[in-house]
Structure 1
Amino acid sequence: MQFNIRSLHRDFGYFFIGLIVSFSISGILQNHRQTWHPEKYTVEIRPIHVKLPQNEQEITEDFAKNLTKELGFKDKFRRNSIKKGELKISYEKHDVEIDIKSGKGEVVTFKKTPLIAQMNQLHKDTSIWWIYYSDIFALGLIFIAITGAMMFPRGKFSFKSRGWKLAIAGIVFPLIFLFVLA
C-alpha cells in the first residue's frame, strides 16, 4: 500500500464517513429542535386536574417532584418552570403542563425516536472517552480538509489561484452569522 496525500485523504474519509453522516443528520435536527422535537414522539396525551397552591412561590422544585407520585408515573425529573400562568414540568419520558389558576392540564407521554435519538446523543454525550474520540474526529476532519485542498492540480482551479479565496469566504460566512446576524 502506497502512502501519499491522496490515499491518506481517501482512507481518513472512509474511516470517518459514518460519523460525518451521523453528525450531519443530527446537526440538521438539532438546528430545528425549537420547531419540533425530533428526538421523541408522542404516544399518549392524558388530561389531568390537580390542586395547586394558591401562592405561586410555593410551587417549588420539590413540589414538582412530589407531583410525579400524584400523577402516578415513575420517571426521572428534569426541570420545572412557570411561564405565562402555566406550570411546566419536564421528565425523561413525560411533559406536564398545568394552568396555575384552574389546575387543569395534560400529561404528554413520549418515546425516543429510534436512531434519531441515538444520533442526537452524539452532540450531547460528555463521557471522557467520547470527548477523546470527538477530538480525534475533529483532527481527522482538519486533516481531510487540508489534504483535500492539497490534492487539486495546478492551474486556475488550484488552491493557490482560487481555492484560498473560497476558503476565506468559508471562514467569513459563519462569522457573519455569529457576530452580525445573531
Structure 2
Amino acid sequence: MKKLTNRGLHRDIAYFYLGLIIAFSFSGIILNHRQDWYPMNYVYDSKPFELQIPEDTKELTKEYIISKTEDVGKYDGHRVREGKLRVYFKGNAIFDADATTGKGIIEFKRKVPIIGHSMYLHKSTNNFWVWYSDIFGVAMLVIAITGVMIPMGKKGFKARGWKLAVLGMIIPILFLIFFS
C-alpha cells in the first residue's frame, strides 16, 4: 500500500473537485458583478401591458391579479412597494407597473446557458447541495493546508510562502475593517 503524502492528498482532492472549483470561480466572479450583468435572468423580450387597478387597493389580491393576467402566464406572486406593483409569473416573466395606473411592462427572462445555470450552484439551498458544498469547503481547507506543507526548498512555505500567505490574509482583514 502506498504511503499517503501531502502532495498526493493535495493533488487528488484538487483533481476530484476541479469541475466544482471552475464552476464556483466563474459563478463567484459573476455574482460579484451582478449589478452589471446577471446571467440568471436576462431579458429576451418585453412588451407594454396595462392591468386595470381596482378603486380599493385592498381588492388587488392574488385572485384578482390571476383573473386579469391569465393570458400572460401562471401567477407566482406579487408585491406592492413604494407605489410600484410587481407581479411574478412562473417561467421567469415579471410585470412591473405603477400601482395606481396599472401601466407597465412585462419582461420575459431566461438564463444564459451554462453560466446562468452554474450560478445556481452558488445559490442553491437544496439540503444535499448544502452538505456537499460544506464538504467542498473542508476540502478547500485541506488543499490549502497540504499545499503549504509540500516541501519546495528555496521557494517553499518556510522560505517565502509565509510572506505571501500573510499578505493574502491581510487584504481581506483590511477590507473587513474598513468596508464592512
TM-score bin (small chain): 0.7 to 0.9
Superposition deviation, residue 74 in structure 1: 3.3
**Cα gap change, 1:159/1:78 in structure 2, threshold over 3 Å: closer, same or farther?**
farther
Helix, strand or coil for the counterpart of 2:85?
Answer: strand
Which deviates the most, 73-82 or 19-28?
A: 73-82
| Structure 1 residues 121-147: Cα deviation after superposition (integer angstroms, max 9, x where no partner) | 111222222122111111111111111
Question: Does residue 1:38 correspond to 2:36, yes or no?
Answer: no
CA distance in 1, matches of 2:130, 2:51: 43
| Structure 1 residues 101-135: Cα deviation after superposition (integer angstroms, max 9, x where no partner) | 43211111122222223211111222222122111
Report the counterpart of residue 118 of structure 1 in structure 2: 117
Superposition deviation, residue 59 in structure 1: 7.3
Report the counterpart of residue 146 of structure 1 in structure 2: 145
Report the counterpart of residue 68 of structure 2 in structure 1: 70
Q: How does 1:137-176 map to 2 (within 5 A)?
A: 137-155=136-154, 157-176=155-174
CA distance in 2, matches of 1:180, 1:9: 34
**Cα gap change, 1:40/1:19 in structure 2, threshold over 3 Å: closer, same or farther?**
same
Report the counterpart of residue 127 of structure 2 in structure 1: 128
Superposition deviation, residue 69 in structure 1: 3.8
Report the counterpart of residue 179 of structure 1 in structure 2: 177
> Does the 8 Å contact 1:97/1:105 carry over to 2?
yes
Sequence identity (%): 34
Helix, strand or coil for the counterpart of 1:180?
Answer: helix
Q: Which amino acid in structure 2 is aligned with residue 126 of structure 1?
A: T
Superposition deviation, residue 76 in structure 1: 5.2
> Gaps spanning 5+ residues in structure 2: where?
none
> Does the 8 Å contact 1:64/1:89 carry over to 2?
no
Superposition deviation, residue 20 in structure 1: 0.2
Report the counterpart of residue 108 of structure 2 in structure 1: 109
Question: Does residue 1:87 correspond to 2:88, yes or no?
Answer: no
**Cα gap change, 1:68/1:165 in structure 2, threshold over 3 Å: closer, same or farther?**
farther
Superposition deviation, residue 161 in structure 1: 3.1
Helix, strand or coil for the counterpart of 2:81?
Answer: strand
Superposition deviation, residue 14 in structure 1: 0.7
Q: Which amino acid in structure 2 is aligned with residue 172 of structure 1?
A: I
Report the counterpart of residue 100 of structure 1 in structure 2: 99
> Gaps spanning 5+ residues in structure 1: where?
none
CA distance in 1, matches of 2:124, 2:173: 26
